[in-house]
């Protein structure tokens, strides 16, 4: 592992280069290139490697970062937030229970409008304790005021993390941003990643110059004060505003990224959606498997398509509604469950998006892959055949648990 990273690090000194990296390695490498002023973190499977590799960069003097090995994730987010309030470019990383422990501080970080950036390796929540990938952790943080960007593979995790710095620090946004990848499926799987040079990444990122900080001795500010009923509502509303407006700036950053580095990103990716009758909406690594299913079905003459959500917060309601409007039936794939018989959170959002359309597709939800349960091409194809039957007969189950034993 060390050798691979060393090679990748060296290679990245010059121009763009391709290397085989795991998701965690790609993210740690991106963090080295970002070179944050402060990183405060705590180990948790499957995200441990990120901070472990990053601390070797610190130990070898490859970054200017002050690394704080805190005593919990709650303190990780607290210290990161404190560093950001002091004007530092500050990062942390976590997963699952760690994110759950941070939950209180996630809201505060957003409320204080601090542009902290955090990779999150998606993992199931206890109980039962399980270290494998599902989206329960980040879905629990979806209303915390963080921008949430999901990655299909290591390349996207690398690219998204770099873009996240620009997004979070955008003067019209100033909201913390998390970049996710699926635990083990991406974090520990090796694949080829194109790495930009350190210089190019740093040029793309620019420097962080916040307007006011708690280190500004001559212009002291009070941060995190108390609001009664006379101001709280306005202040909370003022956090919604930049979140709602963030979409256009996220696209601007993506356009600049594409222009510099050649890889295209949107709020979501449409795969063979132009004329699709049957579509699935998916997040994260399952999108890669779904593309194969779509290709195989297309070869058989089935008009299958796929929509992969990249930006889950802010949720692109109008854009997704438009993208799936002409489908006959759409299946939403939820890798977490609302435990209330109405599917997972992605389903709720998609249904919300199409609710007011006059002509809308039939929508159903598939809860799948909890605790890292495998999903394969055949399972996804079975979802498409369900959609064909549903479109033909109108006979549907609103929510199906896919790949679970009865």
Partner 1 sequence: MANIKELSKLEERFSSGHRACSGCTAPLVVRMLMMAAGETPVVVGSATGCLEVVTTIFPYTAWKTPFIHSAFENSAATVSGVETAYRSLKKQGKYEDKDVRFVALGGDGGTYDIGFQSLSGAMERGHNMVYVCYNNEAYMNTGIQRSSATPKFGETTTSPVGSVEPGKKQFPKNLTKIMAAHGIPYVAQGIPSMWNDLITKFQKALNCGGPAFVNVLAPCRLGWAFPSEKAIQIGRDAVDTCVWPLYEVVNGEYKITYKPKEKKPVEHYLKQQTRYRHLFKPGGEKAIEEIQKWVDSEWEKLKRLAGEE
Binding site for partner 1 (CB under 8 A): 37-38, 40, 64-66, 68-72, 74-75, 78-88, 90, 104-105, 108, 112, 213-217, 220-228, 231, 235
Residue 75: half-sphere exposure toward Cβ, Cα within 13 Å: 8
Nearest C-alpha neighbor of 75 from the set 58, 87, 92, 50: 92
Q: From CA 259, how far away is CA 236, in angstroms rounded?
A: 35
Identify which of residues 143 and 227 has a Cβ nearer to partner 1 in the complex: 227
Nearest C-alpha neighbor of 210 from the set 63, 375, 89: 89
Q: From CA 249, how far away is CA 255, in angstroms rounded?
A: 10
DSSP state string for 142-207: TTSS-EEEE-SSHHHHHHHHHHHHHHHH-TTT---EEEEEETTTTTT-EEEEEE--HHHHHHHH--
DSSP state string for 8-54: HHHHTTSS-EEEEEEHHHHHHHHHHHH--SEEEE---TTTHHHHHHH
- Shortest distance, CB of residue 123 to partner 1, whole angstroms? 23
Q: Name the helix (H) or strand (E) containing 251.
A: helix 232-261
- Shortest distance, CB of residue 61 to partner 1, whole angstroms? 12
Q: From CA 367, how far away is CA 354, in angstroms rounded?
A: 20
**CA angle centred on 28, ends 369 and 93, rounded to 5°:** 60
Q: From CA 403, how far away is CA 406, in angstroms rounded?
A: 10
Identify which of residues 189 and 239 has a Cβ nearer to partner 1 in the complex: 239
- Shortest distance, CB of residue 70 to partner 1, whole angstroms? 6
Nearest C-alpha neighbor of 162 from the set 186, 197, 134, 137: 197
Nearest C-alpha neighbor of 241 from the set 253, 229, 252, 233: 233
- Shortest distance, CB of residue 351 to partner 1, whole angstroms? 35
DSSP state string for 316-378: -HHHHHHHHTT-SEEEEEESS--SSSS--HHHHHHHHHHTT-SS--EEEEEEE-GGG----HH
- Shortest distance, CB of residue 121 to partner 1, whole angstroms? 22
Measured over the CA atoms of residue 335, residue 281, residue 121 and residue 155, the dihedral's sign is positive
Residue 49: half-sphere exposure toward Cβ, Cα within 13 Å: 20
């Amino acid at each position: 592992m060390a050798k691979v990273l060393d090679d990748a690090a060296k290679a990245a000194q010059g121009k763009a280069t391709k290397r085989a990296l795991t998701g965690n390695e790609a993210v740690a490498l991106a963090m080295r290139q970002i070179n944050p002023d402060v990183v405060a973190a705590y180990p948790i499977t499957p995200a441990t490697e990120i901070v472990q590799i990053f601390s070797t960069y610190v130990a070898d003097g490859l970054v200017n970062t002050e690394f704080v090995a805190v005593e919990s994730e709650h303190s990780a987010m607290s210290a990161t937030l404190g560093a950001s309030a002091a004007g530092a470019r500050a990062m942390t990383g976590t997963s699952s229970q760690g994110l759950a422990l941070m939950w209180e501080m996630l809201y505060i970080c957003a409320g204080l409008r601090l542009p902290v950036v955090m990779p999150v390796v998606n993992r199931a929540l206890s109980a039962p304790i399980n270290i494998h990938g599902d989206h329960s952790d980040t879905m629990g943080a979806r209303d915390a005021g963080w921008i949430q960007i999901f990655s299909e593979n290591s390349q996207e995790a690398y690219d998204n993390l770099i873009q996240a710095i620009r997004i979070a620090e955008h003067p019209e946004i100033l909201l913390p941003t998390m970049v996710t990848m699926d635990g083990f499926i991406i974090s520990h799987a090796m694949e080829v990643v194109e790495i930009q040079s350190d210089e190019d990444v740093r040029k793309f990122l620019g420097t962080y110059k916040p307007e006011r900080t708690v280190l500004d001795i001559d212009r002291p500010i009070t941060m995190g004060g108390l609001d009664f009923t006379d101001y709280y509502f306005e202040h909370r509303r003022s956090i919604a505003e930049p979140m709602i407006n963030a979409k256009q700036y996220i696209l601007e950053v993506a356009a600049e990224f594409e222009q510099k580095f050649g890889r295209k990103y949107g709020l979501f990716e449409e795969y063979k959606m132009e004329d699709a009758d049957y579509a699935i909406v998916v997040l994260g690594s399952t999108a890669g498997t779904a593309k194969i299913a779509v290709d195989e079905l297309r070869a058989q003459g089935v008009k299958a398509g796929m929509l992969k959500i990249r930006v889950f917060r802010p949720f692109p309601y109008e854009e997704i509604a438009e993208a799936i409007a002409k489908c006959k039936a759409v299946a939403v794939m939820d890798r977490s469950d609302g435990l209330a018989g109405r599917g997972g959170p992605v389903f709720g959002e998609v249904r919300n998006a199409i609710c007011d359309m006059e002509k809308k597709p039939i929508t159903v939800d598939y809860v799948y892959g909890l605790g890292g349960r495998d999903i394969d091409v055949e399972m996804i194809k079975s979802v498409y055949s369900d959609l064909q039957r549903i479109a033909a007969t109108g006979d549907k189950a609103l929510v199906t648990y896919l790949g679970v034993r009865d």
